[in-house]
Structure 1
Amino acid sequence: MTPSTAEHAQMTVEEFEQIAHHAPETVRLEFINGRLVVKAMPDGNHSEMLMWLVRQCMQQRPELNLMPERGVKAEAYRKGRARADAVLAPRRHFRGHGEWSDTEGILMAVEITSRDADTNQRDRIDKPIGYAEADIPVYLLIDRDDDTLTVYSEPKDGTYQQHPSYPFGAEVALPDPVGITLDTEELKDYAS
């Protein structure tokens, strides 16, 4: 989070958590870059893409869980609250956690773009910064606007050093510590 944003945050993290705790289940709230963000509910193609990824992870790394809709403490000093579409971590990693988990032990965060006006700022700009600042080793962005996967890796000083993109249909190797190779051919079935 930039100092100017921190100084002009809409509310404190504690105030956000109180609001998010009382929000109805049909509303997904995040606190990103000092502002309250309403995240769109997933449509059918979004859900199918997530399940495709769950299957790939379970087949190749059964000792890990890809947890959907996990709240994580992101950004510098864990001042942001992101509700990742999914996070990859060792089985039983989140046992005993509350709604918002520290990112230590999380191997990968996943976002699948939504059909809303905020997806560009949220998924392509704010989330790579927030997840890199929180030292999540890999951020996988499945982008439905241009039918690509972008693999962000090697976080250093709040920035991912690597971020190659691949078209749907390509074979995509996710770097360590994830160590999964994705056959993305099926994603073409869910393209715009």
Structure 2
Amino acid sequence: MIERPRPIEVTEGERAFEDVLRTVEEMNTPDGHKAELIRGKIVVSAWSRLRYFIPMESLREQLTEHVAADQVATHAPFLFSFPSVGRAYGPDLYVVDRSAFLTEERHGDGEALSLVAEFTSTSTRDADWREKLQVHGQLVPVYLVVDMQEDEITCFSDPSPQGYRAHRTVSFGTPLPVPAPFSCEIDTTAFKAAAG
């Protein structure tokens, strides 16, 4: 299968959000692929490339030192839903309340996320920089876009109904300040080796 995402059109109003979300959750995607609900469409795309693992794990390890006791930093493959905008994403890496996993549902509540990090690829870059930025910018305290094509990382913070009010971009190899609730500095040295 090629890396390009494959959208499946979902006509607005045709099915309730929960029905569409259930379809996404129950899809038998090929190994190495995930299904998300983006722009009202079910999109199947490849998980991150192997070379992304080192920077992804470096980021997870650094964040783990700064998460609250009732939270976890992980890159486990789970969907998080945003019912008010009819979206469901499987973040590359995220920090979430542990209570989000105490459910029989197959997806977590997007409101339990305190940080989302997306590692861009040619197939997902547009969604990471546009749609996900817009949706997360109204709710998630910190959104990191690790732009693997441009060799830089951007930290968005201070969400509002109009989107994030603050952001900062640094090149790989430069420390990145991450504001509250983490209040830490991310060492991006490991990101340079994986850059494309």
Report TM bin, short chain: 0.7 to 0.9
Provide the secondary structure at the position in 1 that maps to 2:44: strand
CA shift in 2, pair 1:150/1:18, >3 Å: same
Provide the secondary structure at the position in 1 that maps to 2:101: coil
1:77-156 superposed matches below 5 A: 77-90=84-97, 92-97=98-103, 98-114=105-121, 116-117=122-123, 119-133=124-138, 135-156=139-160
- How far did 1:136 drift? 0.7
1:157 aligns with 2:157: no
Counterpart of 1:3 in structure 2 is: none
When the two chains are superposed, the root-mean-square deviation of aligned CA atoms in Å is 2.3
Counterpart of 1:184 in structure 2 is: 188
Q: Aligned match of 2:60 in 54, 61, 68?
A: 54
CA distance, structure 1, for counterparts of residue 193 and residue 24 of structure 2: 37
Residues 164-192 of structure 1 deviation map (CA, whole Å, 9 limit, x = unaligned):
21110111111111222101112111111
CA distance, structure 2, for counterparts of residue 53 and residue 125 of structure 1: 22
Judge conservation of contact 2:73–2:96 (CA < 8 Å) in 1. yes
Provide the secondary structure at the position in 2 that maps to 1:156: coil
Structure 1 runs not aligned, ≥5 long: 1-5
CA distance, structure 1, for counterparts of residue 127 and residue 65 of structure 2: 30
- TM-score, length-scaled by structure 2: 0.82
Judge conservation of contact 1:78–1:102 (CA < 8 Å) in 2. no
Judge conservation of contact 2:24–2:37 (CA < 8 Å) in 1. no
CA distance, structure 2, for counterparts of residue 129 and residue 23 of structure 1: 28
Identity of aligned residues (%): 20
Provide the secondary structure at the position in 2 that maps to 1:140: strand
Q: Aligned match of 1:72 in 76, 80, 83?
A: 80
Judge conservation of contact 1:71–1:82 (CA < 8 Å) in 2. yes
Residues 66-103 of structure 1 deviation map (CA, whole Å, 9 limit, x = unaligned):
121331113x715201111121124x333313322112
CA distance, structure 2, for counterparts of residue 191 and residue 9 of structure 1: 41
Judge conservation of contact 1:10–1:35 (CA < 8 Å) in 2. no
- TM-score, length-scaled by structure 1: 0.83
CA shift in 2, pair 1:129/1:9, >3 Å: farther
Aligned length: 182
Structure 2 runs not aligned, ≥5 long: 1-9
Residues 5-24 of structure 1 deviation map (CA, whole Å, 9 limit, x = unaligned):
x9747854313422432323
Judge conservation of contact 1:11–1:34 (CA < 8 Å) in 2. no
Provide the secondary structure at the position in 1 that maps to 2:159: strand
